[in-house]
Amino acid sequence: MPALKTPDLQGAARASHGTGPDAAQAMADTDLMEKLVSLAKRRGYVFQSSEIYGGAASVWDYGPLGVELKRNVKEAWWKSMVHERDDIEGLDAAILMHPKVWEASGHVANFTDPLVECLNCHRRFREDTLLSEQAAAASDQLQCPSCGTRGKWTEPRQFNLMFKTYKGPAEDSAEIVYLRPETAQGIYVNFLNVQQSARQKVPFGIAQIGKAFRNEITPGNFTFRTLEFEQMEMQFFVKPGTDGEWFEQWRERRLAWHREVIGLDPDRLRYHPHEKLAHYASAAGDVEFFFGGSIGDEGWGEIEGIHNRTDFDLKRHQEYSGKRLEYIDPAAGERYVPYIIETSAGADRTTLAVLANAYREEAVEGETRVVLGIKPSLAPIKTGVFPLVKKDGMPERAGQIHEALRVRGIPSFYDESGAIGRRYRRQDEAGTPFGITVDGETMENGTVTIRERDTMTQARISQDEVERYLQERIG
Ligand code: ATP
């Protein structure tokens, strides 16, 4: 929960993982985010919500390429967490839940941030964030980031981050429901349903991807902190006493996933253990990515939280629902409330990390080439298909190749307009890893050129080999 997150980084974690690579440091200006916002709009990754009405602040829409990229991130997660494992089951719980869930979870009482308002310009901020950013001990030392006034603040007020609404026609307090601020609670209340129907034995996990909503006081930084976002959460139920080992295992697995499956630069990834713990946790830490700019602590921002939630949640739900939430181990003849290790990743923040990690500018033949070096397995479009010229049967042949790839489930983009160099550049910027060009030689001997986005090298292969060539490299 945000209110309980420690702002500062541990020196040890920083020393062992560096402070971001040189290339990233060079981009560490607020510049990168501005460039990403502009590229994202230009290429159809992300648009501001309700733009024609002047935009809805801190809400974003994913365009044609963005929706594909985010789906690929989510599918990679689902594959690693659910399909590749016998001991994790999937779930899709509803956003709206019984209001008592949020009393039991502690969200009604504790899901708060300390809000302060500048008495001069009336802008509102999170006091804890300002204190850590300005290395101050008390609010009378704080300077307003908006108007520069120092030490003129309202008393901090605990502001609940849950969005409230009403069920049914009467806007009555008895009918209050909340938009869930995390997906985890849907998993806890279904713990026995899943365990019994899937005949799972502890240790086992339940995974879910879904929307969550938080009325953040200071949202911003593009899709890093928004009011509505998607989480990819997995709750792993273990026997008390084995939780320490499982926490370590999941911490390592999740870091490896961001590095190896998502392809984030290892120098821009680190694990940051929490010093202060949330009321439900006995150990916790974040997987952080170096975004640069004003995100998080000197550019390092959380993309996933790993928590040992003990038996807090299940015990609270037992207490509030009056239903037993115990695991019965017939072999050992014991019953107990399991401990839970949680891995909670943001689909939007991970997608943003993929974009920030991939963005680069290179000088090529006196021009700047903008490239999104997204891993081929995640790239929205896998290949461009280009006829060199719009005649001599080349468009038809290129069209056939494009169609054949699409039918085989390889997202492809056909483009015949403009000089070939410009067509390559457009796809470089869109993150498309390969480009197939049909030219005069194709018409003579059935070979095409295949160009790699990252190296710009070209190889000649038979048209019949194209699908296999791409499949081998897309992964
Ligand atoms: P922060 O301290 O940045 O507010 P948190 O510690 O509150 O994050 P968790 O409650 O652990 O975050 O949520 C798990 C994940 O959900 C985060 O690692 C992040 O990727 C994502 N997430 C949380 N809040 C937001 C938000 N407002 N916008 C986008 N993603 C979010």
216 lines ligand 1 (CB under 6 A): yes
Tell whether the model's pLDDT for residue 17 goes beyond 80. Answer: no
CA-to-CA dists, residue 464 to 98, 354, 401, 468, angstroms:
57, 32, 9, 8
For atom 8 of ligand 1, the residue with the nearest CA is: 2
Q: How confident is the model at residue 220 (pLDDT cuts 50, 70, 90)?
A: confident
pLDDT of 11 strictly over 50: no
Closest CA to 224 of 40, 371, 77: 40
Token reading at 235: 């709750």
251 Cα–ligand 1 center, Å? 17
The alpha carbon of 3 and the centre of ligand 1 are apart by a number of angstroms equal to 11
Query: Ligand 1 within 6 A of 128 CB?
Result: no
DSSP string for residues in 22-41: HHHHHTTTTHHHHHHHHHHH
Cβ–ligand 1 distance for 284 under 6 Å, the answer no
pLDDT score recorded for residue 282 = 86
* Shortest-distance Cα residue to atom 10 of ligand 1: 1
**Burial (CB count within 10 angstroms: exposed 0-12, middle 13-18, buried 19+), residue 300:** buried
Cα–Cα distance, 303 to 57 (Å, whole number): 21
Residue ID of nearest Cα to ligand 1 atom 21: 346
Query: Does the CB atom of residue 305 touch ligand 1 within 6 A?
Result: yes
Is it the case that residue 3 has pLDDT exceeding 60?
Answer: no
231 lines ligand 1 (CB under 6 A): yes
Cα–Cα distance measured from residue 450 to residue 208, given in angstroms and rounded to the nearest whole number: 39
Could you tell me the distance, in angstroms and rounded to a whole number, from the CA of residue 29 to the centre of ligand 1? 23
Position 293, amino acid? G
Give the total residue count for the chain: 475
Q: Ligand 1 centroid vs 182 CA: distance in angstroms? A: 9
- The CA 101 to ligand 1 mean position distance, Å, reads 20
Residue 16 scores a pLDDT above 80: no
pLDDT, position 74:
98
Q: Give residue 352 CA to ligand 1 midpoint distance, Å.
A: 13
Q: pLDDT for 43-55, tens place per residue?
A: 999 999 999 999 9
Structure tokens at 414: 């056909």
Q: What percent of the chain has pLDDT over 70?
A: 94
- Please report the atom of ligand 1 found closest to the CA of residue 230: 30
291 lines ligand 1 (CB under 6 A): no
Six-digit token string for 147: 């108007």
* CB 379, CB 371: distance < 8 Å: no
Identify the sign of the CA torsion 418, 424, 427, 428. Answer: negative
Distances 108 to 172, 219, 278, 319 between C-alpha atoms, Å: 17, 21, 15, 16
Ligand 1 lined by 5 (C-beta under 6 Å): yes
Closest atom of ligand 1 to 307 CA is: 11
12 close to 22: Cβ distance less than 8 angstroms: no
Nearest Cα neighbor of 346 from 107, 2, 105 is 2
Provide the residue type at 101 as one letter: V
346 CA to centre of ligand 1 in angstroms: 6
Closest atom of ligand 1 relative to the 229 alpha carbon: 29
Spatial distance between the Cα atoms of 475 and 473, rounded to a whole number of angstroms: 6
- Nearest protein CA to atom 23 of ligand 1, as residue: 346
Confidence of residue 173 (pLDDT cuts 50, 70, 90): confident
- The average pLDDT across 288-308 equals 93
Q: Is the CB of 348 under 6 A from ligand 1?
A: yes
What is the identity of the amino acid at 357?
N
Tell me what the mean pLDDT of segment 244-249 comes to.
Answer: 97
For residue 450, what are the β-bridge partners? 436, 459
Distance 345 CA to ligand 1 centre (A): 8
**How many Å from the N-terminal Cα to the C-terminal Cα in the chain?**
36
CB 351 within 8 A of CB 223: yes
Report the nearest atom of ligand 1 relative to the CA of 181. 10
- Could you tell me if the CB of 287 is within 6 A of ligand 1? no
Minimum-distance ligand 1 atom for the alpha carbon of 226: 28
